[in-house]
Structure formats: structure tokens, C-alpha cells
Structure 1
Amino acid sequence: MSDVPDPWQHRVDAVWLDRALDDDARIAAIDALAAELGGEHSVALFERAGARDSAGREQEAEPLYRAALAAGLDPARRTRAVIQLASTIRNLGKTDDALAMLADEYTATRGGQLADEAAAFYALALVSSGDTVRAASVALTALAPHLTHYTRSVTGYADELLDPRR
């Protein structure tokens, strides 16, 4: 149930890109577009959650993200929904739940399209949990392949942070 017509997605994308919209207007615009798909459509739920999350309304966003995930999303949106939900619940003080979700997503996405995004939010959750060394290792591991030089060294140092005997 995560298929949407291209023209619909283009209109949603345009709402997200429209810097003239304030939070309330963006939520209203997304809600209107979501209504076209129906209240239980997974992508409609996901977009509604994202609009609220972006506006700092995490408590409103959380159940919408959960409903979107339960309704079934395509793999890329599912990963985005997990990352966004985990970030939301981390902001709501549910660090352990966020950390568990992001650890799983970090592992599942390694080498995939949204691997760096999962790593970034996993690192943030690790910092929130007090595990700053593991957070640095995760962040450096994600960064290393993008470096012009020193990829192997940075990867080695990231591993060494977790196991100083290396």
C-alpha cells in the first residue's frame, strides 16, 4: 500500500521545498494531499508524520509514524520512517527505544542507499545515551568512504575506538 502516483509525489515534494510555508501551512497542505490517498494509506500517514515532526510536534508525529510502518511502506520510505520515528522518540526522551531501532536500522542498511543517514541518527542516539565513543566510531565509519584520502586510516581509527587493543 505504499504506491503513489508520480504527480501526487511531485506535489508533496513541492510542499516540502516551499520555504514560504510556515509550519501550520505545511501541515495543512500535507494533510490535504494525504486525504487524497485516504487516511490509512501508509505514505499519507508517513507524510503527515513528517510534517508534524518537522514542525516540532513530535507527540503528534509518533503515532502517525507507527501507523505508517504498520500499514507497510516501500523499503526506502520504511527506512526513512524508522529513522524519523527514532529521532522523534529520542527527542521525547525515549532514548533506549530510539537506540534499539537505530541499531537495527544501522545494521540493516550498511552499504545501502540510506546507510549514512541511519549512521548519523544512530550516532546521535548513542550520544544521547552517553556512549560517545561508539557514536564517534559510527560517525567516522560512515564518513571514511567519502574522504579523498585516509579512508583506510580513519576506518582503522574508528575500529580502534571500540577495541583499543587493535
Structure 2
Amino acid sequence: MDDWQNRVDAVWADETLDPGEVIRRIDALARERPEDDAIALFERAGARDSAGLEADAEWLYRQALATGLDDERRTRATIQLASTIRNLGKTAEALDLLRGEYERDPHGDLHDAAAAFYALALVSNGEPERAASIALQALAPHLSRYTRSVNGYAREIAEEPR
């Protein structure tokens, strides 16, 4: 598996490849694994997603999640699926998925990524104040100063009636 994943990672790292070539190479690598391999499905989805083929990516993400992924890939697949379906106009479902990831593990490695995509979905849903609040709360811990102030203001933004 490590060699296979290293080869997949090499495709993703090769910035000279156009999106179509990324899809072709990822698909070729995926064919080395069983047809229902969740990780291969996830990689195939990501290749299509990054090429702007959201409708093709959606069902592959859903298959990968249904088949079962390790925790990190499950989180990544959920965030990526939510971003994809937001682009396809399924904002309510995207919000549900992203809210779940955002709230699930506040100290997880991908919490800030979940916050960023949750904020984007909130903007798409016409909730820019909540989006700003979520984004600022994700940013605040990374500031060298004013963390407490930014967190306080971020909470106020979300709580103010509009």
C-alpha cells in the first residue's frame, strides 16, 4: 500500500500534468486495486474534482465514504464531497456535512480546513456574518497577538441579530 500511495502522491505532486492526465494516471493506479477499494475511489474522486468534473466526483466520493475510509481520509472525503456538492447547488447538504466535520473534532488536524469550507458554504447560503465568525474563530489561534479579542468579536458577529 505504501508504494501505491507514494505513486499516487507523485501524480498529485507533478505540477506539469494537466487535469486530464492526472485523471488518467490516477485511474490507472486505481485499477491496480479492487474495484470497491475505498482509497482508490477517493483518489479517483479527487482527480475529477480538481479537474472541475464535480458531478463525476460526487458519486465516487459517496462510494468511497460508503465503503469505508480511515479517519483522516474520511474527513478529507467529507470536506471534498461537501465542497463539490456546494458547487453543484446542494448547499443545504453541504452545510450539514461541513457542520458535522467542524463540530466533530475541534482540535483535529483538519479542523481549520473544515472551518474554511463551512464558511464558504455559509456564504453560499446567504449567511456571511456566520461565515466570517467561523473563519475568524479558525484564524484566531494562529495569531501571535489578539487571539482572545478576535475570538470575542467573532462570537459577537455570529450572535448579532440582522
TM-score bracket, normalised by the shorter chain, equals over 0.9
Q: Where do 4+ consecutive residues of structure 1 move more than 6 Å?
A: none
| Structure 1 counterpart of 2:76, one-letter code | R
The normalised TM-score by structure 2 is 0.97
CA contact (8 A) 1:109 1:115 kept: yes
Return 5+ residue gaps in structure 2 as ranges: none
Instruction: Please state if 1:95 is matched with 2:118.
Output: no
* Residue type of the alignment partner of 2:17: L
- Mapped pair 1:53 → 2:76: no
Residues in 2 aligned to 1:44 and 1:151: alpha-carbon distance in whole angstroms: 40
Which residue matches 1:30? 26
Task: For 1:61, give the aligned amino acid.
Answer: A
Corresponding position of 1:68:
64
TM superposition shift of 1:37:
1.2
Determine the C-alpha separation between the residues in 2 that align with 1:126 and 1:159. Answer: 15
Answering whether residue 148 of structure 2 is matched by residue 152 of structure 1, we say yes
Measured in 1, the distance between the counterparts of 2:139 and 2:2 equals: 33
For normalisation by structure 1, the TM-score amounts to 0.95
User: Which residue identity is paired with 1:75?
Assistant: D
Which of 114, 120, 123 is residue 127 of structure 1 equivalent to? 123
Aligned to 2:11: 15
SS at match of 1:36: coil
> In structure 2, what is the equivalent of residue 117 of structure 1?
113
Question: Deviation digits for residues 2-50 of structure 1, max 9, x if unmatched?
Answer: xxx1111111010001111111110010001111112110000000000
Rounded to whole Å, the distance in 2 between the matches of 1:147 and 1:70 is 38
Q: Distance in 2 between the 1:54 and 1:123 partners? A: 20
> Who is 1:142 aligned against?
138
Distance of 2:27 and 2:91 partners within structure 1: 29
Aligned CA RMSD, in angstroms, stands at 1.0
- Distance in 1 of aligned mates of 2:90 and 2:156: 29
Kindly provide the CA deviation profile for residues 26-82 of structure 1, in whole angstroms up to 9, marking residues without a partner as x: 001000111111211000000000000000000000000000000000000000000
What is the aligned residue count? 161
- In structure 1, C-alpha distance between the alignment counterparts of 2:160 and 2:12, rounded to whole Å: 44
User: How far 1:163 moved relative to its partner?
Assistant: 2.3
Distance 2:158 2:53 in 1: 36
Looking at structure 1, the residues matched to 37 and 103 of structure 2 have their Cα atoms a distance apart, in angstroms, of 28
The whole-number CA distance in structure 2 between the counterparts of 1:61 and 1:147 is: 35
Q: Which residue of 2 aligns with 1:162?
A: 158
Q: Does 1:83 align with 2:73?
A: no
How far apart in 1 are the matches of 2:23 and 2:159?
46
